[in-house]
Amino acid sequence: MCQHVDSLTTVLCDQQSYTLCPHCSQKLCLDHINDHQLIVKENLAMTVDCTNVVKMKLDDFNEINEMKFNALQNLDTWKKEMAEFITKVHDESVEKITFCYRPIYGP
Protein backbone atom coordinates (compact mmCIF):
# COMPACT_ATOMS: atom_id res chain seq x y z
CA MET A 1 0.00 0.00 0.00
CA CYS A 2 1.03 3.59 -0.64
CA GLN A 3 2.31 5.34 2.50
CA HIS A 4 1.37 8.87 1.42
CA VAL A 5 -0.66 10.78 3.97
CA ASP A 6 -2.66 13.75 2.77
CA SER A 7 -1.36 16.81 4.65
CA LEU A 8 -4.82 18.40 4.88
CA THR A 9 -7.01 15.44 5.75
CA THR A 10 -4.34 13.14 7.23
CA VAL A 11 -5.93 10.30 5.23
CA LEU A 12 -3.64 7.50 4.13
CA CYS A 13 -3.68 6.70 0.39
CA ASP A 14 -5.29 3.34 -0.39
CA GLN A 15 -3.64 2.76 -3.79
CA GLN A 16 -1.11 0.05 -4.52
CA SER A 17 2.47 1.17 -3.96
CA TYR A 18 4.61 1.44 -7.10
CA THR A 19 8.08 2.51 -5.93
CA LEU A 20 10.25 3.12 -2.93
CA CYS A 21 11.57 6.64 -2.30
CA PRO A 22 15.39 6.46 -2.23
CA HIS A 23 15.56 9.34 0.28
CA CYS A 24 13.16 8.17 2.96
CA SER A 25 12.25 4.59 1.94
CA GLN A 26 8.56 5.47 1.84
CA LYS A 27 6.41 3.27 -0.43
CA LEU A 28 4.48 5.44 -2.90
CA CYS A 29 1.95 5.00 -5.68
CA LEU A 30 2.25 6.58 -9.12
CA ASP A 31 -0.10 9.40 -8.16
CA HIS A 32 1.97 10.45 -5.17
CA ILE A 33 5.60 9.83 -6.24
CA ASN A 34 5.74 13.15 -8.13
CA ASP A 35 4.20 15.08 -5.24
CA HIS A 36 6.65 13.42 -2.90
CA GLN A 37 9.61 14.30 -5.11
CA LEU A 38 8.47 17.94 -5.20
CA ILE A 39 8.36 17.95 -1.41
CA VAL A 40 11.85 16.43 -1.28
CA LYS A 41 13.11 19.11 -3.72
CA GLU A 42 11.47 21.88 -1.68
CA ASN A 43 13.03 20.51 1.51
CA LEU A 44 16.40 20.36 -0.23
CA ALA A 45 16.01 23.96 -1.42
CA MET A 46 15.13 25.08 2.13
CA THR A 47 18.12 23.17 3.50
CA VAL A 48 20.41 24.80 0.92
CA ASP A 49 18.98 28.22 1.80
CA CYS A 50 19.55 27.59 5.52
CA THR A 51 23.07 26.38 4.80
CA ASN A 52 23.77 29.54 2.80
CA VAL A 53 22.51 31.70 5.67
CA VAL A 54 24.76 29.85 8.10
CA LYS A 55 27.70 30.23 5.71
CA MET A 56 27.07 33.99 5.43
CA LYS A 57 26.95 34.26 9.24
CA LEU A 58 30.20 32.30 9.52
CA ASP A 59 31.79 34.53 6.89
CA ASP A 60 30.64 37.58 8.87
CA PHE A 61 32.00 36.04 12.06
CA ASN A 62 35.35 35.32 10.39
CA GLU A 63 35.47 38.89 9.08
CA ILE A 64 34.73 40.23 12.57
CA ASN A 65 37.47 38.02 14.04
CA GLU A 66 39.90 39.29 11.41
CA MET A 67 38.95 42.89 12.18
CA LYS A 68 39.42 42.23 15.90
CA PHE A 69 42.82 40.63 15.27
CA ASN A 70 43.93 43.61 13.14
CA ALA A 71 42.67 46.10 15.73
CA LEU A 72 44.58 44.31 18.50
CA GLN A 73 47.74 44.23 16.37
CA ASN A 74 47.39 47.95 15.66
CA LEU A 75 46.87 48.62 19.36
CA ASP A 76 49.98 46.62 20.28
CA THR A 77 52.00 48.51 17.65
CA TRP A 78 50.71 51.84 19.00
CA LYS A 79 51.58 50.77 22.57
CA LYS A 80 55.12 49.87 21.55
CA GLU A 81 55.57 53.15 19.63
CA MET A 82 54.22 55.18 22.56
CA ALA A 83 56.47 53.35 25.03
CA GLU A 84 59.49 54.08 22.80
CA PHE A 85 58.42 57.72 22.47
CA ILE A 86 57.95 58.11 26.23
CA THR A 87 61.34 56.54 26.87
CA LYS A 88 62.93 58.90 24.34
CA VAL A 89 61.26 61.98 25.89
CA HIS A 90 62.24 60.79 29.36
CA ASP A 91 65.87 60.24 28.37
CA GLU A 92 66.03 63.66 26.65
CA SER A 93 64.48 65.33 29.70
CA VAL A 94 66.94 63.65 32.06
CA GLU A 95 69.78 64.79 29.81
CA LYS A 96 68.50 68.40 29.75
CA ILE A 97 67.98 68.51 33.51
CA THR A 98 71.40 66.97 34.10
CA PHE A 99 72.96 69.50 31.70
CA CYS A 100 71.17 72.47 33.29
CA TYR A 101 72.17 71.52 36.83
CA ARG A 102 75.73 70.45 36.21
CA PRO A 103 78.28 72.29 38.28
CA ILE A 104 79.48 75.46 36.63
CA TYR A 105 83.03 74.68 37.55
CA GLY A 106 84.57 71.28 37.20
CA PRO A 107 83.55 68.05 35.56
Q: Beta-strand (E) ranges in 8-105? A: 19-20, 27-28
Whether this prediction's pTM lies above 0.75 is answered by: no
- Determine contact, residues 73/65, Cβ cutoff 8 Å: no
Distance from C-alpha of 107 to C-alpha of 60, rounded to nearest angstrom = 67
What CA–CA distance (Å, rounded) separates 35 from 8?
Answer: 14
pLDDT in tens, 67-106: 999 999 999 999 999 999 999 999 999 999 988 887 766 5
